[in-house]
Chains A and B, each alone.
Chain A
């Protein structure tokens, strides 16, 4: 019985970390297609979004089954609850990637601010790395590492604030930039949300390791 449970828990763990990697890749690709003005790439992301949703549903179903059949306690229960909570966070990250892809497809502006687009590309790289890093902390059960994600998220927030500043300045200077710059604001917002989500997952990793529920997102949160 215990052996069976351990095997199923290991499988669940694998599906969860695989889903995390898939989400990290999707985010990275969605930002890349935005920066490259690549509508085909963006469409591919929308077409593949169902994969993330299906994985979420399958993992949730599996956690319910394991709770019902094995009534896990202590670290086993915390691991399953962590997966159950974090898997919805991953799915919401996937939704943000889909939002970015949608923005890429409907983008109207013909004039761009290349500095801001470069910054958004860097933000995308950073946040995708944060997602794969936090999944790594999950695998290693590293609560201290997970907590350090909060600092990383601070630098992401600063980058978002810079994008906001540069976009607004650009709009003030040149009305033809408004279409693009409005999109930049929205994309920076999506990326910042994903950053906040990585700290949500980090909080659950801390819970899994220590049994303590903590808050890693600082209280103040700008629009972007």
Chain B
């Protein structure tokens, strides 16, 4: 389903993925517009996390995983041998289920990616820290404690610092793999608010098990089942009048 109003930031064609002999994705065709949130939903084992991790080559770290198909990220072939994964993951940032701050200060956490990229200018780093913590809606809470350990923060705050760390490298696409499933409702709400604030400026793909989260924050929803993409459409359509019976059964809570 192509979006005629916006150009696509990422186009994936016939994506297949094997864990050893077992085919886990059976040929996914899915495009993502330049701005806005796409939610990937589906029961456990449906392939949505496998798919999102394939987008920034997280499977490179695992043995025995084969990925085929094309991933066109604004003209970059993600799986081309010449594509540098460090540079790729700077452009395609990822936030994980468990908040994963590094065991040093909030400030050091946020500039981690910039330092890797060779940025040394103090003023530039300061500015990036403030900007990305503000974007992640946590600046007000931590601005006086920037040099304290990030591990002392609450789970929800840690997750927003993780998000700020990703935003600091100015990614073009954000991947979020169940970013709120380990958080309490208030922290989840804060993350959702943050994502909504970012959605006019970023393309985001979020894997979520929460139907209400998908319906609250996403512009488009893609439903995965057993390694297939069953349906992708505007979120409104998926939750009011989906085409496929399987989608309908899943979002209505009949299975999964």
Q: Assuming the A-B contacts A77-B240, A211-B240, A211-B241, are A71 and B212 also in contact, with contact meaning beta carbons closer than 8 angstroms in the complex?
A: yes
Most chain B beta carbons < 10 A, residue from A1, A2, A74, A211: A74
Decide if A72 touches B252 in the complex (CB within 8 Å): yes
Contacts of A210 in B (CB 8 A): 241
Chain B interface category by residue count:
10 to 19
- The answer, yes or no, to whether B242 is at the interface (CB within 8 Å) is yes
The distance in angstroms between the C-alpha atoms of A77 and B236, with both chains bound, is 13
B238 to A: closest C-beta gap in Å: 8
Task: Output the residue of B242, B248, B252, B254 with the most chain A CB within 10 A.
Answer: B252
The one of A73, A78, A211 in contact with B251, judged by C-beta atoms closer than 8 angstroms, is A73
Q: Which residues of A contact B215 (CB under 8 A)?
A: 73
Determine the main DSSP class of B at the interface with A.
helix
Given the interface contacts A75-B248, A211-B240, does A2 sit within 8 Å of B254 by beta carbon?
A: yes
Q: Quick one: CB contact mask for A55-91 with B, threshold 8 Å, 1 for yes?
A: 0000000000000000111111110000000000000
Instruction: Report B169 CB to chain A, min CB distance, Å.
Output: 37
Cβ of B196 within 8 Å of any chain A Cβ, yes or no, is: no
Indicate if the CB atoms of A73 and B254 lie closer than 8 Å.
no
A74 touches B253 (CB 8 A): no
Interface residues in A35-58 by Cβ distance below 8 A to B read none
Pair B212/A74 contact, Cβ less than 8 Å: no
The range of chain A's interface size is 10 to 19
Chain B residue at smallest Cβ distance from A75: B248
Cβ of B137 to closest chain A Cβ, rounded Å: 26
In this complex, what residue of B is CB-closest to A73?
B239
User: Which A residues touch B212, using CB under 8 A?
Assistant: 71
A212 and B60 CA atoms in complex are apart in Å by 47
Q: Give the chain A neighbours of B251 by CB distance below 8 A.
A: 73-74
Decide: A78 and B253 in contact? CB cutoff 8 A.
Answer: no
Contacts of A5 in B (CB 8 A): 253
Looking at B248, B253, B254, the one whose CB has the most chain A CB atoms below 10 A away is B253
B211 part of interface (Cβ distance < 8 Å): yes
Distance in angstroms between the alpha carbons of A77 and B253 in the assembled complex: 12
Distance, CA A78 to CA B211, complexed state (A)? 17
Interface residues of B in 162-216 (CB under 8 A from A): 211-212, 215
Closest residue to A5 on the B side, CB-wise?
A: B253
> What residues on B are CB-neighbors of A211 within 8 Å?
240-241
CB 8 Å contact bits of A198-222 with B (1 = contact, 0 = none): 0000000000001100000000000
Set of chain A residues within 8 Å of B242, measured between Cβ atoms: 74
CB distance from A47 to the nearest CB of B (A): 42
Q: Which residue of A lies closest to B212 (CB)?
A: A71
Q: What is the bound-complex CA distance between A211 and B242, given in angstroms?
A: 10
Residues of B close to A75: CB separation below 8 A: 248, 252
Separation of A5 and B254 alpha carbons in the complex (Å): 10
Complex Cα gap A71–B215 (Å): 11
CA distance A154 to B110 in the complex (A): 71
Q: Which chain A residue has the least Cβ–Cβ distance from B248? A: A74
- Given known pairs A73-B211, A74-B248, A75-B248, the reply for A2 and B240 (CB within 8 Å) is no
Where the two chains meet, the residues of A that have a C-beta atom closer than 8 Å to any C-beta of B are 1-2, 5, 71-78, 210-211
| Chain B residues with a Cβ under 8 A of chain A | 211-212, 215, 239-242, 248, 251-254
